[in-house]
């Protein structure tokens, strides 16, 4: 990875005094809340989180707003503090909101909905200085990648602690589903990630279609995506017949399962196909393997990330290994799909539909271990997408991808006359 990328026509934003002191004010308020929690609650979990908040948001607060120091010991303490704040901040805010709502005594659904609107907007707003203060000083691609991957886990996960114990009869199930499934956390991560990337000198993802993409290739890719969605949702891949025999049935069509599938379509795509892919394309920009290398690495990392699904014990190791294989291959395909089509909405919608339909068909977020035949025919289908990805990354199709790359990588000259709309 390379030092902080810089646009040829602009410069990255630094941590200004305004954001720094707003962050300090927030830290002071969080510290005060934590001290009040310690004084008023006897639960060990509240006390531990309160102590962590006091330590992190108190004496070490200003350290995270400074540029990365040169001294190796201070640099280590700086990195440790950033990781601690990334971990603690979303949890502290989410648990604080949950504690507030739990003891607010609200009994009218309409008032509860209005309160939730105000609170969810407020949580987004107070994460702005969090993003500005923690991520702006990072000027190395590796540090940026680690911080964003780590931040993704805690921002999306932390939001799920909101409304954990509040009255189900008062607060709308839609609010609960948006928070408990992580959709709100996904939106929050988009905001934080966008701020971080802007500070590091990156453009936002491209949303318009690549003018160099061939219409017949886009039509072929669209047909491939639709066929895969149908096969993945409506078949049991235990024989060759599964490739053409479908059973159109969804077990549970509810907003909850829609939200469960929407969350990875937003958050995971924003992390892997926008942030990490952009950082890899920048790091490999002088290599002849810039595009295929970035696609391969982002898919590989995306697959490895799914190993975390086995940590909680809810999903078996074999099922997780098969899921990792699928995630890696689909990661390659979705990265190639984005770079060729030029529109970030394409992989985002495709990813969301894969998860939404699969979860509605099974009524579960947990993958199960396949039989031998199921694994064989699933792998056959996945190899088709490997072949499509390789085909997209060769010849004139790879050349066409340069249009999208030039709209992603800071400082890259825009070779083509078509203006960028992002």
DSSP single-letter state for residue 140? B
Q: Mean per-residue pLDDT for 229-258?
A: 80
Token pair 């500005």 in the structure block, residue: 132
**What is the C-alpha to C-alpha distance for residues 337 and 224, in angstroms, rounded to an integer?**
11
- How many helices (H) does the chain have, and how many strands (E)? 15, 0
**What is the C-alpha to C-alpha distance for residues 220 and 341, in angstroms, rounded to an integer?**
12
pLDDT at 57 over 60: no
Question: Which is it for the CA torsion 364, 367, 368, 371, positive or negative?
Answer: positive
**Most confident region among 107-121, 297-311, 335-349, 399-413 by mean pLDDT:** 335-349
Lowest mean pLDDT among 31-45, 46-60, 66-80, 267-281: 46-60
pLDDT at 312 over 80: no
Q: Mean per-residue pLDDT for 273-287?
A: 93
Task: Give the residue with greater pLDDT, 18 vs 281.
Answer: 281
pTM of the model as a whole? 0.85
- Provide, rounded to the nearest whole percent, the portion of the chain with pLDDT above 70: 77
Task: Give the contacts of 76 (CB within 8 A, at least 6 positions apart).
Answer: none
Instruction: Say what the pLDDT of residue 3 is.
Output: 37
pLDDT at 5 over 50: no
Token pair 């196909």 in the structure block, residue: 273
Instruction: Say what the pLDDT of residue 402 is.
Output: 93
Q: Mean per-residue pLDDT for 348-373?
A: 89
Q: Mean per-residue pLDDT for 364-376?
A: 83
Burial 148-177 (b: 16+ CB within 10 A, else e): beebbbbbbebbbbbbbebeeebbeeebbb
User: Please, which pLDDT band fits residue 219 given cuts at 50, 70 and 90?
Assistant: very high
Q: Mean per-residue pLDDT for 140-149?
A: 91
């Amino acid at each position: 990875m390379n030092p902080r990328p810089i646009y040829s026509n602009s410069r990255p934003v630094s941590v200004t005094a305004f954001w720094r002191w707003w962050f300090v004010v927030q830290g002071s308020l969080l510290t005060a809340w934590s001290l009040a929690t310690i004084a008023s609650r006897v639960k060990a979990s509240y006390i531990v989180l309160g102590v962590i908040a006091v330590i992190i948001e108190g004496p070490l607060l200003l350290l995270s707003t400074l540029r990365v120091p040169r001294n190796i010991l201070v640099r280590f303490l700086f990195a440790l503090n950033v990781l601690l704040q990334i971990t603690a901040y979303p949890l502290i805010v989410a648990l604080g909101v949950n504690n507030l709502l739990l003891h607010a005594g609200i009994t009218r659904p309409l008032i509860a909905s209005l309160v939730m609107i105000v609170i969810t907007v407020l949580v987004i707003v107070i994460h702005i200085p969090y993003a500005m203060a923690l991520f702006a000083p990072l000027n190395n691609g590796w540090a940026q990648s680690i911080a964003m991957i780590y931040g993704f886990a805690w921002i999306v996960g932390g939001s799920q602690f909101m409304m954990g114990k509040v009255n189900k009869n008062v607060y709308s199930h839609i609010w609960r589903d948006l928070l408990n499934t992580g959709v709100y956390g996904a939106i929050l991560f988009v905001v934080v990630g966008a701020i971080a990337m802007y500070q590091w000198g990156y453009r936002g993802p491209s949303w318009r279609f690549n003018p160099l993409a061939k219409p017949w290739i886009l039509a072929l890719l669209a047909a491939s995506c639709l066929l895969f969605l149908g096969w993945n949702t409506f078949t049991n891949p235990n024989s060759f017949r599964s490739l053409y025999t479908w059973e159109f049935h969804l077990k549970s069509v509810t907003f909850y399962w829609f939200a469960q599938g929407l969350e990875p379509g937003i958050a995971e795509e924003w992390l892997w196909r926008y942030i990490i892919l952009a950082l890899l394309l920048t790091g490999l920009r002088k290599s002849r393997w810039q595009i295929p290398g970035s696609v391969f690495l982002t898919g590989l990392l995306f697959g490895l990330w799914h190993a975390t699904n086995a940590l909680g014990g809810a999903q078996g190791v074999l099922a997780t290994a098969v899921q990792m294989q699928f995630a890696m291959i689909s990661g390659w395909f979705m990265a190639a799909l984005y770079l060729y089509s030029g529109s970030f909405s394409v992989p985002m919608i495709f990813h969301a539909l894969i998860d939404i339909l699969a979860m509605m068909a099974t009524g579960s977020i947990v993958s199960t271990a396949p039989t031998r035949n199921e694994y064989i025919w699933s792998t056959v289908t996945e190899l088709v997408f490997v072949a499509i990805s390789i085909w997209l990354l060769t010849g004139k199709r790879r050349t066409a991808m340069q249009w999208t790359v030039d709209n992603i990588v800071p400082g890259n000259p825009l070779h083509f006359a078509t203006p960028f709309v992002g």
